Amino acid sequence: MNHNRIGIVGWKDKSADLALALEMIAEWSKTHKEVSFCALESLKEVSPKNIEIVTEDALRKCDLLLAIGGDGTVLSTARIALGTSIPILGVNAGHVGFLAETRVEDLKTTLDLIQAGEFSTRNRMMLDAKIFREGKQLACETVLNEVHIRARALERMVNLLVEYNGRYLTEYWADSLLVSTPTGSTAYNLSANGPIIHPSTSAFVLTPLAPSSLSVRPLIIPASAICQISSVSDSSLNLVFDGRINNTLESHDKLVLSQSESVTTFIRMKNTGFVDALREKLGWTGKPKLA
């Protein structure tokens, strides 16, 4: 499969690696006239002249999207690609770059391999988060990583009632609550001592941050479940979707979480995978070696 039009997503203030990646793409394109490149408007000031500057709508017509940056850039790219089948290639120009499949210095070789068909694709599940008020749907966000439910005043805790498939599960009294996909399990969820979930697992996890009860632990539930969350108190709550999009949950609102029909498709190169990422990007060194 050839990719004749490739879109680029990045943020110009991220790092010098982004400028290097754009230069490498411009150089590669000189010997691959069959491929055209376009970049998001945020890269207008740093993109070489042979890379067209376009809107998000135009990026949705590309055959492939390059997300050049950290995992936040990949999440933004997933949002752009939502509702399409456009695959995403993460190019690490950030720090950990857990979702990145290649490094900037390997970009030309990676593009060669992609054009030669030396790759595969993997779908990652997403969650639909719907807000209801008096039975009427007010909003819906689709996330690749997580939904973060927290108090509007950061010094306050949240008191949340959770239902699982229409049945009472529990009340969480905690600093906040994360609802994470397998992809999001290696993000904020991991920092909050939540479990790592293999991306092929059809499940999501509820992880309370600093719960008041020592018996409360993260809970993995099947992706087929419907999870409903509401505030027990009269105060409004903040909802943060994939760390970027914000909304409000009022005291009598319902937040309904379920597996989305949409997925995010990632390019995967040969000899890479989730196990390699765990070992290399999280620094899993195994048993210390004796001198």
Within a domain: 49: yes
Indicate whether 109 and 180 sit together in one domain: no
- 131 with 250, same domain? yes
pLDDT of 218 over the 70 cut? yes
Q: How far is CA 193 from CA 15, 66, 106, 154, 178, in A?
A: 29, 31, 33, 20, 11
Question: What is the C-alpha separation between 260 and 147, in angstroms, rounded?
Answer: 13
Residues 142, 202 within the same domain: yes
Examine residue 241 and state whether it is found in any structural domain, yes or no: yes
Residue-wise pLDDT tens digits, 27-78: 999 999 999 999 999 899 889 989 999 999 999 999 999 999 989 999 999 9
Same domain, 139 and 74: no
Per-residue pLDDT tens for 224-233? 999 999 999 8
- The boundaries of the domain holding residue 88 are 5-118+270-281
Find the distance separating the first CA and the last CA of the chain, reported in whole Å.
50
CATH assignment at residue 20: 3.40.50.10330
Q: Which of 71, 175, 242, 253 is catalytic?
A: 71
Average pLDDT, integer, range 89-112: 88
CB burial of 230-262 (b: ≥16 within 10 Å; e: otherwise) equals bbeeeeebbbbbbbebebebeeebbbbbbbbeb
In contact, 272 and 128? CB cutoff 8 Å: no
In a domain, 27, yes or no: yes
Instruction: Name the E strands within 134-210.
Output: 136-143, 146-151, 158-164, 167-174, 176-180, 203-209
pLDDT computed for residue 288 by the predictor: 63
Q: What is the CATH number of the domain that holds 217?
A: 2.60.200.30
Establish whether 242 is a catalytic residue.
no
Q: What is the pLDDT of residues 154-206, one digit of tens each?
A: 789 999 999 999 999 999 999 999 999 999 999 999 999 999 999 999 999 99
291 within domain boundaries: no
**13 in any annotated domain:** yes
What's the pLDDT score for residue 155? 83
| pLDDT bucket at 86, cuts 50 / 70 / 90 | very high
Whether residues 200 and 277 share a domain: the answer is no
88 and 181 in a single domain? The answer is no
The sign of the CA dihedral 264, 269, 270, 272 is negative
pLDDT number for residue 7:
97
Question: Is 288 among the domain residues?
Answer: no
Same domain, 59 and 182: no
Report the alpha-carbon distance of residue 57 to residue 271 in Å, rounded: 33
Each residue's pLDDT tens digit, 21-35:
999 999 999 999 999
How many domains does the chain contain in total?
2
Q: Is 290 domain-assigned? A: no
* pTM listed for this prediction: 0.90
